[in-house]
C-alpha cells in the first residue's frame, strides 16, 4: 500500500514537472513597436500634477481593428508603472 502510494506520488510529481515545461501561449507581442499604428494620442493637461497619475488616451489601428485604450501611468517624466489598461472596441455599423 505504501509502495503504491509512493509510486502514484512520484508519477504525479513527474507529470507536474513535465507540464510546467510546456510553453504558455502569449498573445501580446512584448516589446513590439506599435508607434506606426497609433492614430491619436491625447493627454489632458489640466490633470497633470507632479508625482500624480497621468491618463494617456490613444487609438491605434492594427489589422483594421480600431480600438481606443486608456493607460494610467504612475509617474511624470518617466514611466515607472502602468496601473491600468482599458480597451474600448469601436462598434462598426
Domain boundaries, the chain: 37-93
pTM score? 0.30
Angle 42-32-64 from CA coordinates, rounded to 5°: 65
In sequence order, the β-bridge partners of residue 68 are 59, 88
Q: pLDDT value at position 81?
A: 45
Q: pLDDT value at position 82?
A: 46
* Ranges in the chain, pLDDT < 70: 23-38, 51, 60-93
The C-alpha cell 499604428 sits at: 37
Whole-number CA gyration radius for the chain:
23
Amino acid at each position: 500500500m505504501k509502495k503504491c502510494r509512493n509510486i502514484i506520488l512520484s508519477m504525479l510529481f513527474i507529470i507536474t514537472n513535465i507540464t510546467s515545461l510546456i510553453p504558455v501561449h502569449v498573445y501580446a507581442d512584448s516589446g513590439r513597436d506599435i508607434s506606426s499604428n497609433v492614430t491619436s494620442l491625447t493627454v489632458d493637461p489640466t490633470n497633470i500634477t507632479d508625482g500624480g497619475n497621468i491618463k494617456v488616451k490613444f487609438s491605434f489601428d492594427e489589422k483594421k481593428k480600431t480600438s481606443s485604450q486608456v493607460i494610467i501611468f504612475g509617474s511624470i517624466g518617466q514611466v515607472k508603472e502602468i496601473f491600468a489598461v482599458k480597451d474600448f472596441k469601436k462598434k462598426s455599423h
